[in-house]
């Protein structure tokens, strides 16, 4: 197909620029900016949409800038480095509003997006892929145009400095064929940094064998622990401590290889403050914290006087949460299990907090919330599309009271959104 010139209207979910063509499907063009005129070639054509590659920026947008990372043109880890930061925030507000309108049927304005304190060096956890090939070891992030290919990276500018230093010295220390890491064609290497700068390395994949983790622990800058994770994130073996001490807000935690916490510490604190403010006065309320992780929100609610059930399927997180909840133990019950199984048994409640994975909330949870509606739901989402879907399913009993977005992941198309729902007044019979 011959090249064509298109005009980019906006940034859509996933970070691509959107262009419309007369009587033809819309086209998505990565690494473009609103207001640009771009010469493109098509790489995929479907009935309702097409995908194209930018060949030449004919008229650049004033929102365009030089990417801060030299790997950006090839690496798929980021999608928006070519946009000024204020433009990234506007794009994310538009992505949230578009999903809520188009998929959720809600008449909403683009929400405010709380900016990150730092555009770069904010990630306390980064996962790299290592491949052993005939040409040698390649380790980094997946390529933007071919996710099967790995772009070799000496550093990632989004990583906190302790992770950056550990990655640099790990690459220099693992040997000519990365023989000091476990054998196998492909490994996933996750580096996570605690607040004091100690770094843990979680390894997944490969074949039987350990390599030489003891030597890596000696040579890699800041590395305090190495964990090898088997199926389900269970630690098969470790060198160094089984978990690293960390502090989140007022709480001391032990982070193992698979433990989940937000990757942006400063933004996580801002988001938590907003959620607590949306909860309001909770004394003597019955609350459920679903997908609670370590249960830090649940602990705060219990300290404030609520009776709380905290549910998560991660048994390690639940165990750590129980250890951190001594002050509020009488007010708080932790449940290790699937939210789909446990939440219906915890209803009715006055307040329900939801923080599901990207796939959103299961139908059985929606049914439980509709069957015995709480006065308020606070729903935190990392995917505007599944958030919108779930809000549309809850609309018969709940109305949207508030919507706030947080830029937890600068330079990427991801955005964290918190919505507050209130039970609709019951109709008089």
Residues with catalytic roles? 382
Q: What are phi and psi of 79, to 5 degrees?
A: -125, -15
Which structure tokens are listed for 3?
């090249």
Residue 294 in 3-state DSSP?
coil
- The answer to whether residues 383 and 91 touch, using CB atoms and an 8 Å cutoff, is no
- Pairs from 280-287 (Cβ < 8 Å, separation ≥ 24): 282/306, 282/351, 285/350, 285/351, 286/348, 286/349, 286/350, 286/351, 287/349, 287/350, 287/351, 287/352, 287/353
Structure token digits, residue 223 = 């590395």
152/140 Cα distance (integer angstroms): 5
Single out the residue of 231, 139, 236, 143 nearest to residue 185, CA to CA.
139
Q: Which helix (H) or strand (E) holds 20?
A: strand 17-21
DSSP 191-207: EEE-TTS-EEEEEEE--
Is residue 410 within 8 Å of residue 116, measured between CB atoms? yes
């Amino acid at each position: 197909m011959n090249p064509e010139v298109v005009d980019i209207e906006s940034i859509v979910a996933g970070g691509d620029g959107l262009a419309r063509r007369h009587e033809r499907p819309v086209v998505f063009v990565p690494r473009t900016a609103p207001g640009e005129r771009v010469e493109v070639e098509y790489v995929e054509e479907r009935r309702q949409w097409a995908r194209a590659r930018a060949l030449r920026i004919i008229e650049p947008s004033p929102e365009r800038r030089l990417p801060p990372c030299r790997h950006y043109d090839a690496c798929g880890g980021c999608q928006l480095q070519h946009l000024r930061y204020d433009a990234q925030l506007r794009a994310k507000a538009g992505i949230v509003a578009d999903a809520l309108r188009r998929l959720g049927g809600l008449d909403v304005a683009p929400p405010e997006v709380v900016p990150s304190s730092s555009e770069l060096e904010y990630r306390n956890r980064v996962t790299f892929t290592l491949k052993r090939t005939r040409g040698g070891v390649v380790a980094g992030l997946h390529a933007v145009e071919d996710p099967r290919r790995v772009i070799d990276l000496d550093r990632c500018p989004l990583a906190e400095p302790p992770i950056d230093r550990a990655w640099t010295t790990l690459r220099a220390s693992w040997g000519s064929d990365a023989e000091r890491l476990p054998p196998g064609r492909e490994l996933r290497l996750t580096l996570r940094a605690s607040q004091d700068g100690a770094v843990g390395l979680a390894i997944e994949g490969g074949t039987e064998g350990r390599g030489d983790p003891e030597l890596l622990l000696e040579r890699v800058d800041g590395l305090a622990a190495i964990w090898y994770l088997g199926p389900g994130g269970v630690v098969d073996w470790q060198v160094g401590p089984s978990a690293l001490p960390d502090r989140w807000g007022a709480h001391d935690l032990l982070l193992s290889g698979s433990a989940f916490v937000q990757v942006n510490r400063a933004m996580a604190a801002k988001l938590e403050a907003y959620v607590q403010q949306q909860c309001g006065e909770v004394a003597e309320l019955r609350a459920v914290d679903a997908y609670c992780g370590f249960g830090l929100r649940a602990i705060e609610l219990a300290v404030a006087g609520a009776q709380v059930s905290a549910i998560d399927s991660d048994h390690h997180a639940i165990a750590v949460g129980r250890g951190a909840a001594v002050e509020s133990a009488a007010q708080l019950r932790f449940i290790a299990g699937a939210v789909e199984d446990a939440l219906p048994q915890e209803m009715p409640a006055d307040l329900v907090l939801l923080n599901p994975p990207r796939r959103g909330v299961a139908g059985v949870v929606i049914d439980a919330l509709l069957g015995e509606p709480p006065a308020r739901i606070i729903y935190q989402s990392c995917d505007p599309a599944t958030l919108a879907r779930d809000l549309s399913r809850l609309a018969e009993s709940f109305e949207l009271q508030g919507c706030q977005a947080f830029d937890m992941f600068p330079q990427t198309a991801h955005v964290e959104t918190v919505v507050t729902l209130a039970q609709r007044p019951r109709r008089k019979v």
